[in-house]
């Protein structure tokens, strides 16, 4: 059981959700405001994707990230910034030539995937630890891509949040640690319920947790209706938690949520289980981060 909880809020994500929620943050200003709102509600960490501000489609332009980061850093609200480095791995095979990417494919080099991290130097960025099926496409991060990304992140002095979706990815993450490419203590995020990876349930979260290095700091989440059950489950199993509109659009059946409301609901669950919420500064101390 973990009684001192880091809450991460993933405020917009890269899914096809812009048309499903009228207030999903899309522009850099909206995404920055969502991060601030989440922090004011109790989140210590804001996990950031960016979108095309006109269409709402996911993107990875450095200037969009830059505006988000500058707005958050200029505000009076403290929050640890965690920028995704997972964009640039989407592969949709052309139906007539599977060796060629079809519409929707977005493949980038490791350095391109980290261009915004290199420029903006957040305290944390993600490292998606493997290749997998992801809904209707493949997400591609090969072992050599991940080695290169891990080294780049390490050289920048940024903390990688190792996102894992199945057991083999933890195995490979431990290999990266063994090779000296990830500094202690390693930080893991157990991502659950995303088709077609590990389902969001107790057995799978326990199995993933049991594979982690002994000194790992970890969090876990489930998507959609499993978001709040996995808040309680992660806490009970010794982890931290993640909520936000990236993973779930609803506060309850038929009621669309805001990021702030989802964080407030997580705070309520944690406190009812006897826990307390760590501040951004306490989170930095626990993870060995320096405020930027």
Task: Provide the pLDDT for residue 43.
Answer: 98
Average pLDDT of the residues in 168-193: 98
Average pLDDT of the residues in 154-175: 98
Centroid of chain to Cα 223: 12
Question: What tens digit of pLDDT does each residue of 197-217 get?
Answer: 999 999 999 999 999 999 999
Task: Provide the pLDDT for residue 290.
Answer: 85
Query: 291: pLDDT confidence band, cut at 50, 70 and 90?
Result: confident
Superfamily of domain 4-287: Aldolase class I (3.20.20.70)
Dihedral over alpha carbons 30, 152, 89, 145 (to 10 degrees): -170
Average pLDDT of the residues in 134-143: 92
Task: Provide the pLDDT for residue 135.
Answer: 81
Query: 292: pLDDT confidence band, cut at 50, 70 and 90?
Result: confident
Average pLDDT of the residues in 233-240: 98
Rounded Cα distance between 246 and 86, Å, is 14
% of the chain exceeding 90 in pLDDT: 96
User: Residue 116: is its pLDDT beyond 90?
Assistant: yes
Question: What tens digit of pLDDT does each residue of 28-47 get?
Answer: 999 999 999 999 999 999 99
Query: 21: pLDDT confidence band, cut at 50, 70 and 90?
Result: very high
Query: 134: pLDDT confidence band, cut at 50, 70 and 90?
Result: confident
Query: 265: pLDDT confidence band, cut at 50, 70 and 90?
Result: very high
Mean pLDDT of the residues in the chain: 97
Rounded Cα distance between 231 and 282, Å, is 20
Average pLDDT of the residues in 233-242: 98
β-pairing, 7-10 with 45-48?
parallel
């Amino acid at each position: 059981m973990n009684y001192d909880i880091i809450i991460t809020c993933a405020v917009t994500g890269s899914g096809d959700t812009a048309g499903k929620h009228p207030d999903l943050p899309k522009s850099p200003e909206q995404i920055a405001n969502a991060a601030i709102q989440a922090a004011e509600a109790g989140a210590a960490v804001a996990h950031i994707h960016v979108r095309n501000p006109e269409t709402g489609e996911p993107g990875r332009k450095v200037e969009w990230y830059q505006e988000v980061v500058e707005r958050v850093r200029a505000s009076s609200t403290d929050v640890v910034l965690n920028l995704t480095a997972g964009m640039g791995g989407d592969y949709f095979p052309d139906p007539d030539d599977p060796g060629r990417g079809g519409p929707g494919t977005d493949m980038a080099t490791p350095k391109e995937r980290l261009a915004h991290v290199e420029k903006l130097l957040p305290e944390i960025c993600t490292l998606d630890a493997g290749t997998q099926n992801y809904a209707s496409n493949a997400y591609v991060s090969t072992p050599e891509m991940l080695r290169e990304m891990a080294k780049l992140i390490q050289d920048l002095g940024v903390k990688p949040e190792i996102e894992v979706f199945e057991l083999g990815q933890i195995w490979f993450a431990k290999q990266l640690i063994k090779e000296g490419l990830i500094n202690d203590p390693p930080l893991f995020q157990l991502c659950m319920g995303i088709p077609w990876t590990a389902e969001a349930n107790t057995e799978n979260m326990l199995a993933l947790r049991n594979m982690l290095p002994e000194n790992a700091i970890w969090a876990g989440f489930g998507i959609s209706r499993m978001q709040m059950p996995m808040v309680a489950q992660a806490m009970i199993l010794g982890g931290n938690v993640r909520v936000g509109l990236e993973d779930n659009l609803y506060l309850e059946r038929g009621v669309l949520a805001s990021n702030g409301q989802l964080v407030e609901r997580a705070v309520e669950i944690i406190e009812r289980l006897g826990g307390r919420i760590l501040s951004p500064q306490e989170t930095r101390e626990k993870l060995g981060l320096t405020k930027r």
